[in-house]
């Protein structure tokens, strides 16, 4: 009896990924994504995030095993090392990832809803400093933050834009979110906060006509927002698979000791 998982192969359009896929295609009886138990994704981090975002709209969300045939590959596993792909997938460590759900309302009253796997960021649109009111679980925690903006990141996204903005790196499984200001002017010394994943965060834009702000959920942008509400989505939990000893958590630890 064959107990191997049903695997679907999804390949980036990049030349490097396409070249790697030529070897891979004959190595396993691949099935369609609809039939698969696990999706094997060849490419880089950007392509993996694209696949994850597409899957958020599926009726059934499936585990994803990424193989790095891109550039950074922070969310990916290493190249194929002659271990059968079925064995690598079966032995892989599972990492649950809860995306953020962003609900944004514009100054004209239009409403938009997007998911973010890395972060949701609010950014000033002009030379004028953005001024934001920060509410957490319905309570005003900061009446006015003035600066270039603010972001809220998941543990997966904490090593991306959040880290560049001097935000904290969050261990996987911490069920925490990083709330990080972007070039804050007032209060100048505020470094941000670490929130429980259950927190509901709302930003209200002060003087939105004079100081317009855009909200970005990963790569989806809504301009001229008036309010933005963000909460982690348990219903859309994703699963990333990593080789033993090469887990994302280990890479997050290593990132904190680079000099």
**Residue 120 marked ligand-binding:** no
Active-site pick, 3, 45, 81, 91: 45
**Residue 144 marked ligand-binding:** no
CB 41, CB 20: distance < 8 Å: no
Separation between Cα atoms, residue 152 and residue 167, nearest integer Å: 10
**Residue 154 marked ligand-binding:** no
Separation between Cα atoms, residue 33 and residue 52, nearest integer Å: 13
**Residue 3 marked ligand-binding:** no
Any alpha helices (H) in the chain, and if so which ranges?
15-24, 45-55, 85-91, 161-164, 248-255
For residue 42 the two structure tokens come to: 């060849």
**Residue 42 marked ligand-binding:** no
The CA-CA-CA angle for residues 165, 122, 154, to 5°, reads 60
**Residue 160 marked ligand-binding:** yes
- Catalytic annotation on 45? yes
The sheet with strand 238-242 has its strands ordered as: 7-11, 38-43, 64-68, 238-242, 93-97
Q: Within the chain, what is the greatest distance between any pair of CA atoms?
A: 68
**Residue 50 marked ligand-binding:** yes
**Residue 173 marked ligand-binding:** no
**Residue 163 marked ligand-binding:** yes
For residue 170 the two structure tokens come to: 């969050």
**Residue 118 marked ligand-binding:** yes
* Annotated binding-site positions for NAD(+): 45-46, 50, 118-119, 148, 156, 159-164
* Annotated binding-site positions: 45-46, 50, 118-119, 148, 156, 159-164
Which are the catalytic amino acids?
Answer: 45
């Amino acid at each position: 009896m064959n107990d191997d998982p049903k695997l679907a192969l999804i390949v980036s359009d990049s030349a490097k990924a396409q070249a790697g896929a030529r070897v891979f295609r004959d190595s396993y009886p691949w099935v369609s994504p609809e039939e698969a138990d696990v999706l094997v994704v060849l490419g880089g981090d950007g392509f993996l995030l694209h696949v994850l975002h597409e899957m958020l709209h599926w009726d059934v969300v499936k585990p994803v095993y990424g193989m790095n045939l891109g550039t950074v590959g922070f969310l990916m596993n290493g190249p194929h090392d002659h271990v059968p792909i079925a064995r690598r997938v079966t032995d892989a460590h599972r990492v649950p990832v809860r995306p953020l759900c962003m609900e944004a309302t514009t100054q004209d009253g239009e409403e938009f809803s997007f998911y973010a796997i890395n972060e949701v960021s609010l950014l000033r649109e002009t030379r004028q400093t953005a001024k934001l009111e920060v509410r957490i679980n319905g309570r005003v925690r900061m009446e006015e933050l003035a600066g270039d903006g603010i972001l809220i990141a998941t543990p997966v996204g904490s090593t991306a834009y959040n880290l560049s903005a001097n935000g904290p790196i969050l261990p996987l499984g911490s069920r925490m979110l990083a709330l990080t200001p972007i070039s804050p002017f007032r209060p100048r010394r505020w470094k941000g906060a670490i929130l429980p994943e259950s927190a509901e965060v709302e930003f209200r834009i002060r003087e939105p006509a004079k100081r317009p702000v855009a909200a970005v959920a990963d790569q989806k942008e809504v301009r001229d927002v008036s309010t933005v509400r963000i909460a982690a989505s348990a219903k859309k939990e994703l699963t990333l698979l990593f080789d033993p000893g090469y887990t994302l958590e280990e890479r997050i630890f290593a990132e904190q000791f680079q000099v």
